[in-house]
Amino acid sequence: MPLSPRTIAVSAGRPAHEAGSPVNHPIDVSTTFLQGTDVVYSRQDLSRTDALAGFETALGALEGGEVTAFASGMAASSAVFETLPVGSGVVLPANCYYSNQTVLNDAGERGRLLVRVVDTADTEATVDAMDELGECALLWLESPSNPMLQVCDLPALAAAAHERGALVAVDSTFNTPFVLRPLEHGADLVVHSATKYIGGHSDLLMGVVVAARDDLVAAVRQRRYLGGAMPGTLETFLALRGLRTLPLRIAAAQANAGDLARRLSEHPQVAWVRYLGLPDDPFHERAARLQDGFGAVLTFGPVGGADAADRLCELVRLITPATSLGGVETLMERRAKYAGDRAQGVPADLLRLSVGVEDVEDLWDDLAQALDRLRST
């Protein structure tokens, strides 16, 4: 009987199951090795038995593909873009992690790629954008998108892209393999910022590319070797440790997020709430159809607009006003303070809450006291 994903997260990528083996892979800091095998230099794709191999094996078993780990999420997505021949057509989302949009738009301006930006939650518009390019090499998706929480119809888009000879890559950072495995829905490549949920403790920068096709794996691995964006050995060790508890953290954070979303939507000081798990959310049905759960990021706007949102970030005591997401601790920030998010049309009052695994009553008490003080100031 196949193991359940929760068991795979704990058991895959361990050292050999034999007498005297360590339970965890060692942190191996050597860059060079006594010659005589294929293990030569640590920027290479080594057949080693350290935490990097363990991490890639374990996450690959969860995603259903081969994982190549990188020094950051941006290094991972950049490696995918670099595999494209000069002049390739790329369709990308109007709302997505802003640095990915910047890298692709910049490649467009420098004539390296032909780029089209479109609302990829709109399947028809996305198919039209691929056709307008003439030849589309890559459809880049992010689902749910940051921070607008738009969900793509991945199976429909993958089918349309493949009919047109395009590859489909999905930035699945917000979901993790416990919520969605894009390869199962037709994606060719999956990218994560492992800095977020996979690491899970806001203490490492890493990224991954997952692919099932051998030629894609080889191309991505070659980009890592030549581009040099290998993850550090300590980071890899920590990412594997994070992965072991990912299913537990995701389950706890998702439950908290659902609870907070419901309570926020009933609070008189809250103007609006977006959470994929709310039955009236515009992307609820699509998320329910494709995903196992609704993730642990929600967004909301307090009564009083952007100023009130900034003030709320000053009034919280337990929740940390900081960027990033996916850690055990709850983080909150007003996204439109960044020019990049403003340019994508992110509402000025939008607060992104990355819900952690604290006791939900403590999180609610903190939000409620901040909202109460907001009203009285």
Ligand X SMILES: *Cc1c(COP(=O)(O)O)cnc(C)c1O
Task: Give the residue numbers marked as catalytic.
Answer: 43, 97, 171, 196
Closest CA to 90 of 108, 110, 74: 108
**Of residues 117, 141, 167, 205, which one binds ligand X by CB under 6 A?**
205
Rg (CA), the chain: 21
Q: Which is nearer to ligand X, 72 or 83 (CB)?
A: 72
Q: Does 101 bind ligand X (CB under 6 A)?
A: no
Interacting stretch for ligand X, rule CB under 6 A, among 11-19, 190-198, 233-241, 346-354?
190-198
Q: Which is nearer to ligand X, 197 or 275 (CB)?
A: 197
**Of residues 195, 291, 344, 354, which one binds ligand X by CB under 6 A?**
195
**Of residues 8, 12, 52, 97, which one binds ligand X by CB under 6 A?**
97
CB of 103 to ligand X, least distance (A): 10
DSSP 229-269: -PPPHHHHHHHHHHHHTHHHHHHHHHHHHHHHHHHHHT-TT
Q: Does 171 bind ligand X (CB under 6 A)?
A: yes
CA distance 274 to 267: 14
**Of residues 173, 254, 269, 299, which one binds ligand X by CB under 6 A?**
173
CB of 142 to ligand X, least distance (A): 6
**Of residues 177, 207, 242, 247, which one binds ligand X by CB under 6 A?**
207
Interacting stretch for ligand X, rule CB under 6 A, among 53-61, 115-123, 188-196, 303-311?
188-196
**Of residues 83, 143, 193, 256, which one binds ligand X by CB under 6 A?**
193
Q: Which is nearer to ligand X, 97 or 308 (CB)?
A: 97
Residues 6+ apart with CB under 8 A from 20: none
Contact indicator for 171, 209 with CB cutoff of 8 Å: no
CB of 70 to ligand X, least distance (A): 9
CA distance 34 to 79: 30
Q: Which is nearer to ligand X, 126 or 354 (CB)?
A: 354
Q: Does 352 bind ligand X (CB under 6 A)?
A: no
How many other CB atoms are there within 10 angstroms of residue 125's CB atom? 13
CB of 20 to ligand X, least distance (A): 37
Which residue in this structure is represented by tokens 């056709």?
Answer: 131
Q: What's the token pair of residue 247?
A: 């299913």
Strand locations in the chain (E): 66-70, 88-93, 113-118, 138-142, 167-171, 189-193, 207-211, 270-274, 297-302, 320-321, 331-334, 351-354
Contact indicator for 168, 161 with CB cutoff of 8 Å: yes
Site residue total, ligand X (CB under 6 A): 13
Q: Are strands 167-171 and 320-321 parallel, antiparallel or unpaired?
A: unpaired
String of contacts with ligand X for each residue 46-85, x by CB under 6 A: --------------------------xxx-----------
Interacting stretch for ligand X, rule CB under 6 A, among 23-31, 49-57, 107-115, 193-201?
193-201
Residues 6+ apart with CB under 8 A from 294: 179, 254, 257, 258, 275, 276, 277, 284, 287, 288
Greatest CA span in the chain, whole angstroms?
73
Contact indicator for 93, 119 with CB cutoff of 8 Å: yes
Q: Does 330 bind ligand X (CB under 6 A)?
A: no
Q: Does 146 bind ligand X (CB under 6 A)?
A: yes
String of contacts with ligand X for each residue 115-144, x by CB under 6 A: ---------------------------x--
- The secondary structure element, H or E, covering residue 135 is none
Q: Which is nearer to ligand X, 87 or 345 (CB)?
A: 345
CA distance 98 to 151: 17
Q: Which is nearer to ligand X, 74 or 167 (CB)?
A: 74
CB of 352 to ligand X, least distance (A): 10
CA distance 94 to 103: 14
Q: Which is nearer to ligand X, 48 or 196 (CB)?
A: 196
User: Residues in the site for ligand X, rule: CB under 6 A?
Assistant: 72-74, 97, 142, 146, 171, 173, 193, 195-196, 205, 207
